[in-house]
Chains A and B, each alone.
Chain A
């Protein structure tokens, strides 16, 4: 059994390390994302019913329905969401990922990222910035107006610029940002800056008005997290070929919907192992406390699953000002993650760790054996819809996800007659 697992995990890590996530274009969710229709709403995390959704996810669904013109106000949207007419599903089930609430609807523009090694795709919406935004459950007029601007100005300008530029090797760009002080989850300053540097000349050459082009550049410049929505689909399309390898104990997805945390394990197929999401004890913005915090939410933990985010914190000492702790804590977190991972990342090397690769490939056996849980850095959403981000901090998945997965793995091996 041990040899079967060793070989399967070797294959899983080989697939992970050989991935070549590449930004190849932009499109609209209805045309690109498999299984999308006008009444489908994708969300972050494992599947969840409307009645079990937390405040920020409900808020984002309400905003999504208003944005799509399926409802004209909160009451109408709430009734429609509860009517059973809307199909809710996980982004992960549709080759997609979304930060925080992760709500993705029919008309939203998306990045198209292709894993050139395996030919699979991942999609992600464009980052809206901070403040009142849909992904934190805000749905007022300001939010909808911005989403419409993103659809009608930001998207066509960037799409045209990308066509002039050609495909962008995201693995190489993420490898660079990891050496520039980003860990790829909550610090995206270097990534956003590099992206602007790469695309600004092509934006200038598009045939849109100077005002629109300047607005697009200003929008990206004003939002340090702009690059997050590229790192996420990059991690997603890197990890999908890690899934569904018989006998592998490697985690190929972690995600939260604001109510539950879920993980998927390669040798256990598409099944989610879920448990109630934790509340994050972090640094709160002035006027907010732990009492205001929603439980952990978002698909952005796909970055940690791929060896970035909390796993790469040693390379991003400045992030502790955002999530709490000291630079030494950041080094300690990264060091600890080597205890539960299979390999060091071939591409993502950290100068502060003597250019050691980031800890990559979580093995459920190691998590159970050491009782060390993955470390995740994350934004904190207000528990009520429409308020937005109230802080940031560190969180871990519930141990129950890993315990249940290990038990299911042993059951499966027993039923297949591989172990007694």
Chain B
């Protein structure tokens, strides 16, 4: 059995990041899932992300 098939024959341990509906689908199928409260850095706002990057620079 190759590794990917082995993975699918085991009980899944799922952590879902991002869209919560993915975790709800799994829950509906009685698959244990942990929904991680995650959002993109600076809410995905490129301007704010760039400002944060500037403060990490060494010059």
Name A's B-contacting residues (CB within 8 A).
1-2, 5, 249, 365, 368-371, 403, 406-407, 409-410, 413-414, 418-420
CA distance in complex: A370, B48 (Å):
11
Per-residue CB proximity of B47-59 to A under 8 Å, as 1/0? 0100110111111
Q: Are A407 and B51 in contact (CB under 8 A)?
A: yes
Q: Are A1 and B57 in contact (CB under 8 A)?
A: yes
Number of chain B residues whose Cβ lies closer than 8 Å to a Cβ of chain A:
13
Q: A1 is contacted by which of B42, B43, B48, B58 (Cβ under 8 Å)?
A: B58
Contacts between the two chains (Cβ within 8 Å), count: 45
CA distance in complex: A5, B56 (Å):
9
CA distance in complex: A416, B48 (Å):
20
Closest chain B residue, CB of each to CB of A403: B48
Name B's A-contacting residues (CB within 8 A).
39, 41-43, 48, 51-52, 54-59
CA distance in complex: A367, B41 (Å):
10
The verdict on A406 contacting B41 (CB below 8 Å), with A1-B57, A1-B58 known, is no
Provide 24 A-B residue pairs closer than 8 Å at the C-beta atoms, listed in order of the A residue: A1-B54, A1-B56, A1-B57, A1-B58, A2-B56, A2-B57, A2-B58, A5-B55, A368-B48, A368-B51, A368-B52, A369-B42, A370-B39, A403-B48, A406-B48, A406-B51, A410-B54, A410-B55, A414-B54, A418-B59, A419-B57, A419-B59, A420-B54, A420-B59
Q: Are B41 and A369 in contact (CB under 8 A)?
A: yes
Across the interface, which residues of B come within 8 angstroms of A403, CB to CB?
Answer: 48
| Main SS class of interface, A | helix
Across the interface, which residues of A come within 8 angstroms of B43, CB to CB?
Answer: 371
Q: Are A2 and B42 in contact (CB under 8 A)?
A: no
- The minimal Cβ–Cβ distance linking B44 to chain A, given in whole angstroms, is 9
Closest chain A residue, CB of each to CB of B43: A371
Q: A407-B51, A410-B51 are in contact. List 19 more A-B contacts (CB 8 A).
A: A1-B56, A1-B57, A1-B58, A2-B56, A2-B58, A249-B55, A365-B52, A365-B55, A368-B51, A369-B52, A403-B48, A406-B51, A406-B52, A409-B55, A413-B54, A413-B55, A418-B59, A419-B55, A420-B59
Most chain A CB inside 10 Å of its own CB: which residue of B42, B54, B55, B58: B55
CB-based closest 10 A-B pairs: A371-B43, A410-B51, A419-B54, A2-B56, A410-B54, A368-B48, A406-B51, A368-B42, A419-B57, A1-B55
Across the interface, which residues of A come within 8 angstroms of B48, CB to CB?
Answer: 368, 403, 406
CA distance in complex: A409, B57 (Å):
14
- The minimal Cβ–Cβ distance linking A290 to chain B, given in whole angstroms, is 26
- The minimal Cβ–Cβ distance linking B29 to chain A, given in whole angstroms, is 27
- The minimal Cβ–Cβ distance linking B5 to chain A, given in whole angstroms, is 39
CA distance in complex: A370, B59 (Å):
24
- The minimal Cβ–Cβ distance linking A321 to chain B, given in whole angstroms, is 26
- The minimal Cβ–Cβ distance linking A403 to chain B, given in whole angstroms, is 6
CA distance in complex: A407, B52 (Å):
9
Q: Are A420 and B52 in contact (CB under 8 A)?
A: no
- The minimal Cβ–Cβ distance linking A269 to chain B, given in whole angstroms, is 18
Closest chain A residue, CB of each to CB of B58: A1
- The minimal Cβ–Cβ distance linking B41 to chain A, given in whole angstroms, is 6
Closest chain B residue, CB of each to CB of A336: B37
CA distance in complex: A249, B55 (Å):
10
Across the interface, which residues of A come within 8 angstroms of B59, CB to CB?
Answer: 1, 418-420
Across the interface, which residues of B come within 8 angstroms of A410, CB to CB?
Answer: 51, 54-55
Across the interface, which residues of B come within 8 angstroms of A406, CB to CB?
Answer: 48, 51-52
Across the interface, which residues of A come within 8 angstroms of B54, CB to CB?
Answer: 1, 410, 413-414, 419-420
Across the interface, which residues of B come within 8 angstroms of A418, CB to CB?
Answer: 59
Q: Are B52 and A2 in contact (CB under 8 A)?
A: no
The verdict on A371 contacting B52 (CB below 8 Å), with A419-B57, A420-B59 known, is no
Across the interface, which residues of A come within 8 angstroms of B58, CB to CB?
Answer: 1-2
Across the interface, which residues of B come within 8 angstroms of A1, CB to CB?
Answer: 54-59
CA distance in complex: A406, B39 (Å):
19
- The minimal Cβ–Cβ distance linking A165 to chain B, given in whole angstroms, is 48
CA distance in complex: A420, B57 (Å):
9
CA distance in complex: A420, B50 (Å):
12
